[in-house]
Amino acid sequence: MPVQLTVADGLPSNTVNDFAEDKNGYLWLATADGLARFDGRSYRIWRMEDGLTDNFVWALKVDADDGLWVGFDNGGVGVLDPKQRAFKRLESAQFPELRRITVWAIAQTPDGDLWFGTARNGLYRRRPDGRMQHFISVADDLHSLPGNNVNSLQVTPDGSLWIGGNSGVARWTGKSFERVRLAGGVQAVNGMRLDSHGILWITDTNYHLYQLNSRGQFVTQPWHKNEKDRRVLGMLLRDRFGRYWLDTMAGLGVSDGKNVVNVPIYSLSAHGLVKPSWSSAYQDREGGLWFASLNGGLWHLPPNWSTFAVLSYHADDRQSISNPIVNISAVSASGGMWIAGTRGVLERLNPANGALERHLQPIYELRWPTSLIESKNGYVWIGLPYSLVRYDPRTKQRKRWPLSTNSASVGYDSPERLAMDAQDRLWIYTTNTGLQIRDEEGRLIREIAQGTHGLDTSNVYDLRLGPDGEMWLASSTGLRRWDPKANTFVTVQGAPSSANYVVGFTDSGVVWIGLMGELRRYLWDGTSLTHLDTIGGAQDFPMVAPNGLVVDAAGVAWVSSARGLIRVDPASKMVRIYGVHDGLPNQEFLGGTLVQATGGQILGGTPDGVVLFDPAQMRPNTRQPPLLIERVGIRRGERGLDVTGVEPLQLQDGDRDLHIVARMPTFTNPESTSYRFRLSGYDPDWIDVGPSGERLFSRLPAGRYTLEVQGRTADGIWSASQTLRFQVLPAWWLSPWGLSLLALLTLCV
């Protein structure tokens, strides 16, 4: 679901008319109350007091030289210099009306010409040498503009300029205008879009949508027969994956070219679903989608919005999952996944298409299940408070056994861990009591009470079949395995003696162990573990206890925790933490819910829904990010001075509070970016400042300095270093001429 950004988040206005992205990755926004630049964290705003000729901005265009052209409602057009960010109005003695016209659209053709479409004054062209031309509609001249109202300009891949307005559509031939009729009776244009495949789309004022075919004709769009809330009013954009994002009667739709699926648009300010009046849409260089509205600000979908499929419980939707919270899950040999939770419903999920099969509703009375596993024979074992249920999905039959027995170890509570051994026997662990072993008919084979046979009273966090074919147990006192000859649990040689929260095994004999704040790899040789490597704080693994572990086919570990989903690549030592800003409904994963289907998909449960993803598609972005020193400021006396871009930069004696702001424009989880600074001759090493990207030096001794700045993305990729060289001048009496003067005075005395 797209996330809304409004005035409350820093926008100058909730009316957003246009987008542009410059070469540095800044997103520029044309609004009804100023020009805004967004870097993913904060906005910088220009208004009339900052040099603009009007506060109402209609159109934006970044030219080939990275200059930002700005079209106003009542201030003509101008350009923002890419280096100084100083605004300059476009003026012409030949066309003095340029100062006050309304500019609705701006485009640049491959020859460098800039074109400005206006509300009442036709079309202007600015040549690269600064010469201006003016085109208007001329009666009885079919090669002139169709009308003087120009609200849309687009340049197709062949370099052609297309013009749309209230009087129709035309194409610039290089010498004149060729008028092109729409297929319907209405010729007035309400909007014109160019998709990522270079196809031109036009909406008329009756909200009929047309596309330009290879013969240069506008034909009816493929969704023209859609009705009611799936009726298509306009094409907003086509993303890099070929999906169409559409303006529909319901609000926003997405299509593969055939079917239209409506996307719910939720507004925090309106406290419910809304239908925005869309003005524009844009896909940034990272792949994120932006939707601008005339009444509700912006809506944003990050580039990985479709990475996680989220299944949530909805009381009014019978197709949704049945449990408000899924607290247990298990792999099925059928390729599916078993899930159960707080309404006591057992379901099987098809990870390929999200289809659900309800099997037990409820499992037994209204008791919450606490553990779940499927046996080799296809039985589903479910742990409930004080009891155990076996369900056969083939016959739909279930059977229940109480956990309490007539032996001395009476008082079994909820089975927290279930595991199948090599003989397909079920091992059941309950806190404060111990272990039971049962056969596939539910018959009790053995009990192992706490405090006996090597099973101490520590907390057991994980229980699973080990690489030696025996049961392994991870607990707060280390890692143990069952020794059938000694008839006891023994410590696994080489394993850490601290709390082992999760353990995982691979076919190659690698054993993964999750500890507090780190993940370790070992090699099992049949008798002991040999340490291979550790991923910890040095690699930015968070200081958190893992509560789930899956190792995918590529050898990458996926760890669930209360702080998000953690991806660990042992080859590169790269750690990536996924949270709510990456599309998770909630970053607090529930223990024991992280499982991998036979097809490779991974599922995890959170308090706000089940998360499903394909690890093969979850590859970190290794693109090196651009880093900018955005602002340099000092205080001189009582004044604050902006010295950004000043060369050579010299600070006078008495200058203080040197403030440097660095930015990596990114809209993908900017809260997880970090920055570091190093000032030569001052810092012993890099100084990490976190996501702020700011450093303040109150006073520096006289001398020459070089400041290095680096930024790191959420995927752990460092930018190239940016440097700032400056000099702090000494007090006048310590300067060369001051010392010479003092020496002269000394001689005179």
Query: pLDDT tens digits, residue range 469-496?
Result: 999 999 999 999 999 999 999 999 999 9
Cα 420 to Cα 151, 335, 713, distances in angstroms:
68, 18, 42
Cβ within 8 Å of residue 708, ≥6 positions away: 677, 678, 679, 680, 721, 722, 723
Consecutive H or E run containing 742:
helix 736-748
Cα 491 to Cα 475, 484, 495, 723, distances in angstroms:
11, 13, 8, 54
Query: What is the CATH code of the structural domain delimited by 628-734?
Result: 2.60.40.10
Mean pLDDT score of the chain, rounded to an integer? 92
CA distance 121 to 336: 64
CA distance 114 to 97: 17
Is there a contact between 360 and 348 (Cβ–Cβ < 8 Å)?
Answer: no
* Domain 16-246 matches domain 628-734 at the CATH topology level: no
pLDDT of residue 227: 82
Cα 593 to Cα 113, 376, 544, 743, distances in angstroms:
59, 20, 17, 80
Fold exhibited by the domain 309-617? Methylamine Dehydrogenase; Chain H (2.130.10)
Is there a contact between 559 and 565 (Cβ–Cβ < 8 Å)?
Answer: yes
CA distance 191 to 203: 5
Strands 426-430 and 434-438: antiparallel
Return the bridge partners of 35, or none: 30, 46
CA distance 70 to 29: 10
Highest mean pLDDT among 70-74, 651-655, 744-748: 70-74
Q: Is a pLDDT exceeding 90 seen at residue 439?
A: yes
CA distance 570 to 513: 13
CA distance 715 to 712: 8
Cα-Cα-Cα-Cα torsion 431, 436, 437, 440, nearest 10 degrees, comes to -90
Cβ within 8 Å of residue 435, ≥6 positions away: 427, 428, 429, 447, 448, 455
Tokens 């700045």 map to which residue?
709
Consecutive H or E run containing 738:
helix 736-748
CA distance 605 to 326: 6
pLDDT of residue 393: 96
Average pLDDT over residues 196-208: 92
Task: Count Cβ atoms below 10 Å from residue 448 Cβ, excluding itself.
Answer: 21
Name the 3-class secondary structure at 49.
helix
Average pLDDT over residues 560-578: 95
Highest mean pLDDT among 80-84, 205-209, 361-365, 598-602: 598-602
Query: pLDDT tens digits, residue range 33-86?
Result: 999 999 998 999 999 999 999 999 999 999 999 999 999 999 999 999 877 678
Cβ within 8 Å of residue 124, ≥6 positions away: 95, 98, 115, 116, 118, 132, 133, 134, 135
- Burial profile 579-609: b = 16 or more Cβ within 10 angstroms, e = fewer: bbbbbbbbbbbbbbbbbbbeeebbbbbbebb
Query: pLDDT tens digits, residue range 605-649?
Result: 999 999 999 999 888 888 888 999 999 999 998 899 999 988 899
Average pLDDT over residues 737-748: 62
Cα 566 to Cα 135, 577, 579, 693, distances in angstroms:
59, 4, 9, 24
Is there a contact between 230 and 253 (Cβ–Cβ < 8 Å)?
Answer: yes
Q: At 708, which amino acid appears?
A: E
Torsion angles phi and psi, residue 565, rounded to 5: -95, 125
Average pLDDT over residues 650-667: 93
Name the 3-class secondary structure at 260.
strand
CA distance 238 to 236: 7
Torsion angles phi and psi, residue 732, rounded to 5: -60, -35
pTM: 0.82
Tokens 């159109």 map to which residue?
59
Return the bridge partners of 144, or none: none
Is there a contact between 548 and 559 (Cβ–Cβ < 8 Å)?
Answer: yes
pLDDT of residue 8: 94
Is there a contact between 500 and 479 (Cβ–Cβ < 8 Å)?
Answer: yes
Strands 244-248 and 602-606: unpaired
Q: If pLDDT is split at 50, 70 and 90, which confidence band does 409 have?
A: very low
CA distance 255 to 260: 5
pLDDT of residue 745: 63
CA distance 42 to 17: 19
Q: At 550, which amino acid appears?
A: V
Is there a contact between 135 and 144 (Cβ–Cβ < 8 Å)?
Answer: yes
pLDDT of residue 2: 86
Question: Would you give the DSSP letter of residue 345?
Answer: -
Return the bridge partners of 564, or none: 561
Query: pLDDT tens digits, residue range 270-322?
Result: 888 899 999 999 999 989 999 999 999 999 998 888 889 999 998 888 889 99
Query: What is the CATH code of the structural domain delimited by 16-246?
Result: 2.130.10.10
Task: Count Cβ atoms below 10 Å from residue 692 Cβ, excluding itself.
Answer: 12
Q: Is a pLDDT exceeding 90 seen at residue 1?
A: no
Task: Count Cβ atoms below 10 Å from residue 3 Cβ, excluding itself.
Answer: 15
pLDDT of residue 740: 64
Q: Any idea where the domains of the chain sit in the sequence? A: 16-246, 309-617, 628-734
Instruction: Dump the DSSP string for 710-733.
Output: EEE-TTSPBPPPEEEEEEEPPPGG
Q: If pLDDT is split at 50, 70 and 90, which confidence band does 684 have?
A: very high
Query: pLDDT tens digits, residue range 378-406?
Result: 999 999 999 999 999 999 999 999 998 65
Average pLDDT over residues 91-96: 93
CA distance 405 to 428: 14
